[in-house]
Amino acid sequence: MNEIPYIPFHRPDIGQEEIDAVVQTLRSGWLTTGPRTEQFEREFAAYVQSPCAQAVNSCTAGLHVALAALGIGSGDEVITTPLTFCATVNCILQTGATPVLADVGPDGNIDPDSIAQRITGRTRAIMPVHLGGLACDMDAIWSLAREHRLFVIEDAAHAVGSHYRGRPIGAGDSDGRAASDAVVFSFYATKNLTTGEGGMVTMHDPALADRMRVLCLHGISKDAWNRYTEHGSWYYEVQESGFKYNLSDIQSAIGIHQLRKLETSIQVRAAYTSMYNHAFAGLPELEVPPQCHTSRHSWHLYMLRLNLERLGIDRNEFIRVLKRKGIGCSVHFIPIPLHPFFAADANLAWNHCPRALALYPRLVSLPLYPNMTEDQVLYVIKSVQETICSARKTRPVGVSAAITGELGKP
């Protein structure tokens, strides 16, 4: 039945350059954090137009160390979105702070009006997530943060290559007046830029960058760390209890080459997105992913929305049918209140997110990555169209049929 072999939901785009760079690093004799990581940090900071960058071994680690470096902990509240990966909320819990969920707006991103309603005397930070690569309304979030003296830590796991009003996520606003305290990117295997596992925190405050560097390596002081990395020196001092969150040179060697390909890969993602949008926009059973014309989408995810009231099948059946046709889909995300780890908190009034819960059953992410072929994109389009056509709710006979006069035809 399959015309082409299985199209997985994602396949990482690793080329000969990455493979050669890893081999070179392995042969160099320096495997852990060193010259390649320093280079990757420098080039990444330049790419997102941020003065400082700290490489970390995951986005989860980066979110955690950012919260810790900003002094967030027990008794504090941090406002984030229900439509995210569990890591965003786990990091808040691990500092001892309380996560508070603000509901999403029509675009699926955290709604600034809902954030405003959730701010209390204990609120210390806002953690927006650029869902799928669509930039959040940062002007509104920065303005709330200024007004209430809150930190902003962006979960930019999907947003490497996204722009907000003409500037890369991480760069801050165009007149240099506002920027988040920390912006955290993910280089997990499925993300737009991958090092297998890895991440980057960018920030504008060099003092915060220094503090994060110390916390990422056991709490070893920066000066001692500089001596430590010089061959032949054995002495170091632990200034405070820190974490083990540094990125290895093996991974950074991959990241350097992934970064060089990023602009091209985003162009391919955008082209495939246009093909999807063009094919699906005319189907009333589907709603194409929201876009913002003043910001560039990274198209990390193509999050299609089903108009369930027009369909005889639900989202799970839609995914099963596509799987039988040889296409892997996914769902982003199971809202935080639906997970057992959050069950006790889900019923609290400040975690009520009816719009996120209503959106969730409609969401299906289709395969979208630069090493898909155009034929594969066309096959996904054809398969989605077929699935929709055969699941289309038939109009009630005698009502719409009578209106269109079809029954009267001989």
Ligand X SMILES: *Cc1c(COP(=O)(O)O)cnc(C)c1O
Point out which residues bind ligand X (CB under 6 A).
58-60, 84-85, 87-88, 129, 155, 157-158, 186, 188, 199
Of 191, 382, 393, 409, catalytic = 191
> Closest separation between CB of residue 405 and ligand X, Å?
51
Torsional sign, CA 111, 116, 119, 125: positive
Of the pair 136, 388, the CB lying nearest ligand X is at 136
Whether 363 and 315 have beta carbons less than 8 Å apart is answered as yes
Identity of the amino acid at 209: A
Q: How far apart are CA 78 and CA 157, in angstroms?
A: 18
Of the pair 85, 276, the CB lying nearest ligand X is at 85
> Closest separation between CB of residue 147 and ligand X, Å?
26
Looking at the DSSP bridge assignments, the partners of residue 405 are none
Whether 57 and 247 have beta carbons less than 8 Å apart is answered as yes
Known catalytic residue: 191?
A: yes
> Closest separation between CB of residue 381 and ligand X, Å?
25
Residue 128 vs residues 50, 111, 114: alpha-carbon distances, Å: 18, 9, 12
> Closest separation between CB of residue 194 and ligand X, Å?
9
> Closest separation between CB of residue 94 and ligand X, Å?
13
Of the pair 14, 401, the CB lying nearest ligand X is at 14
> Closest separation between CB of residue 259 and ligand X, Å?
16
Of the pair 313, 364, the CB lying nearest ligand X is at 364
Q: How far apart are CA 353 and CA 100, in angstroms?
A: 11
Identity of the amino acid at 170: G
Of the pair 60, 246, the CB lying nearest ligand X is at 60
Q: How far apart are CA 42 and CA 53, in angstroms?
A: 7
Of the pair 199, 326, the CB lying nearest ligand X is at 199
Q: How far apart are CA 146 and CA 134, in angstroms?
A: 23
Positions marked catalytic: 191
